[in-house]
Structure 1
Amino acid sequence: MESVNEDWDTVRTVLEGETAAYALIIDRHQKHVGAVVGAHVPPQYAPEVAHETFVRAYRSLASYEPRKPFKHWLTTIALRSCTDFWRSHYRKKESPLSDFSKDTTQWLDAVCFTESESEFERLSQAREAKEILSLVLDMLAPLDRMILVMTQLEEYSSKETAELLEISSANVKVRAFRAKRTLKKLLKKHGIEGA
C-alpha cells in the first residue's frame, strides 16, 4: 500500500508542475514495464516500446485515478504500446520460408519429412521451436497475439487479460479461441502437427 501512496503522491507532484518528479515513477516501475514489454515484443524493440510506454503514461497522467494501483494502470499502457508496435511493424501476412533462419528452415524440413517421433523429439530444440512460435505468432492480428500470449504463455486468466487490455472477458475468450485455431492452422501449414 505504501508504494500505491508513493505513486499517487508522485503523480500529484508531477501534475502540480514539478515534471522532474516523473523520473521517480520511471525509476520505480522501469523493471516492471521492461518485463511486460520484453514478453510481448522482439528484444531489439523492447527499449523503444518501454520508452514509448512511459511517454504515453506521462501524457495521460491526468487521467490516472488512484482507485486502482498505478502499476496496473501502467501495465495497461504498456500492453497497449505492445499492441500498437505489432500494428505498425507487421502487416498480417504469411511469412515466406525465406524469412526463417537457416537453422529454422532445416528444422522445418526435418519435421516435414521425418517419420519417427524420436527423430522429431531430437530435432525439437527449444531455440528453434521458440523462433518458429514467434514467427507464427507474428502472423496473427496484434490484439489476438497479445491475448494468446497472455492467456496461454503468461497464464493470465481471461478476466485479468480483459482488465489489462480494457476489453470484455467474452471478447478475450472468443479471440483466444479463434487465435488458437488460426495458430494451429499456421503451424500445420509449416508441417507441425498436433500443436
Structure 2
Amino acid sequence: MSAENPTHNAAADPWTGLVQRLRQHDQAAAREAVERLHPHIARIVATHRPRQEESADLIQESFLRVFSKIGQYRGLQPFPHWVARVTVNVCLTRMRHHLRRPVQLWSELGEAEQRAFEQTRQESPADADLSGARELVLRLLDSLKPKDRLLLTWLELERKSMAEVAALTGWNATLVRVRAFRARRHLRKAFEALESPTSRPETT
C-alpha cells in the first residue's frame, strides 16, 4: 500500500509551477530544480550510498532519474517527498550491485572491528572503540539486503519515525514494522554467526 497523502493540495504547493515547467523540458526550470533540490538529494545520498560509490555520481543519477520520470509525479505528495523516494531507489539499485555476502569468518574482520565485537560481549566496556564499532555495524549492515539495510539505517542510526520511513518508501506503517522486525532478525543472525566457534581460529 502507498503512503501518498490524500490531503496534499497540489494547487497550493510552491513546487507546482516548477514541476509544470519541468514537464515542458524548460532548461531554466531544470537549473532551478538542481539549485533548490541539491542539498536535499545530497543529504539522502550521503547517508545511503554504498561505500564504494562517489556521492557526486549518485546525485547526478538521481537528478537524471527525477527529470526522466517527472511525468510520473501525480502531485499526491509534496514534490520533495517524491524526489526523496526517487533518490532512495537510485541508492537501492546501487546497493544491490554492491551487495556483499554475509561476514562469516572472524578473519574477515579488521583489528578494530574485532576489538569492537569483543567489547559488545562485555557488560561495561571500559575503552570502547567507537570507530571500530561503527565499522563493525556498517560491515554487518552491508551484508543485508539493500532495503533491510536502509530500513535499519533510518530507524536505528538516524532515529527516523515510522511515519518518516513510510513517506520515504511508500510503505504503510504495518509493512514498515514487519520489515523492520525481519531486518533486525537478519542482522542478529549475521552477528551470531561471528559468535560461532567455527568462525574463530583455533587457539593453542
User: Which bracket does the TM-score occupy, shorter chain normalised?
Assistant: 0.7 to 0.9
- Conservation of the 8 A alpha-carbon contact between 1:108 and 1:190: no
The one-character-per-residue Cα deviations of 1:67-94 (angstroms, maximum 9, x if unpaired) are 3211111111111112111111114433
Match of 1:139 in 2: 143
1:149-164, aligned counterparts within 5 Å?
149-164=153-168
Task: Say which SS state the counterpart of residue 28 (structure 1) adopts.
Answer: helix
Partner of 1:11: 19
Task: Name the residue aligned to 1:184.
Answer: 188
For the Cα contact (< 8 Å) 1:10–1:21, is it kept in 2? yes
The root-mean-square deviation of aligned C-alpha atoms, in Å, is 2.7
Q: Choose the corresponding residue for 2:69, options 54, 60, 63.
A: 60
The alignment partner of 2:31 has SS state of helix
2:44 pairs with 1:36: yes
- Percent identity between the two aligned chains: 26
Instruction: Give CA deviations for 1:61-119 in whole Å, capped at 9, x if unaligned.
Output: 112233321111111111111211111111443365555444334x257x17x98655x
User: Aligned runs of 1:47-126 on 2, under 5 Å?
Assistant: 47-94=56-103, 96-97=105-106, 99-105=108-114, 107=115, 111=118, 117-118=123-124, 120-122=125-127, 124-126=128-130
Letter aligned with residue 83 of structure 2: L
Return the alpha-carbon distance in structure 2 between the equivalents of residues 31 and 101 of structure 1: 34
Normalising by structure 2, report the TM-score. Answer: 0.77
C-alpha spacing 1:51/1:96, structure 2 compared with 1 (3 Å): farther
> What amino acid maps onto 2:99 in structure 1?
Y
Q: 1:166 to 1:44 in 2, by over 3 A?
A: same
Residue identity in the other structure for 2:24: E
Q: Which runs of 5+ in 1 are unaligned?
A: none
SS at match of 2:48: coil
CA distance in 1 between partners of 2:107 and 2:86 (Å) = 34
**Higher helix proportion, which one?**
1
* TM-aligned CA deviation for residue 50 of structure 1: 1.8
C-alpha spacing 1:47/1:96, structure 2 compared with 1 (3 Å): farther
Point out where structure 2 has 5 or more consecutive residues left out of the alignment. Answer: 1-8, 196-204
Q: 1:96 to 1:54 in 2, by over 3 A?
A: farther
How far apart in 2 are the matches of 1:69 and 1:99? 44
Q: Is the 8 A contact 2:84 2:168 kept in 1?
A: yes
User: Across the two proteins, how many residue pairs are aligned to each other?
Assistant: 184
Counterpart amino acid of residue 46 in structure 2: G
1:67 counterpart letter in structure 2: L
User: TM-score normalised to the size of structure 1?
Assistant: 0.80
Pick which of 81-90 and 59-68 moved more. 59-68
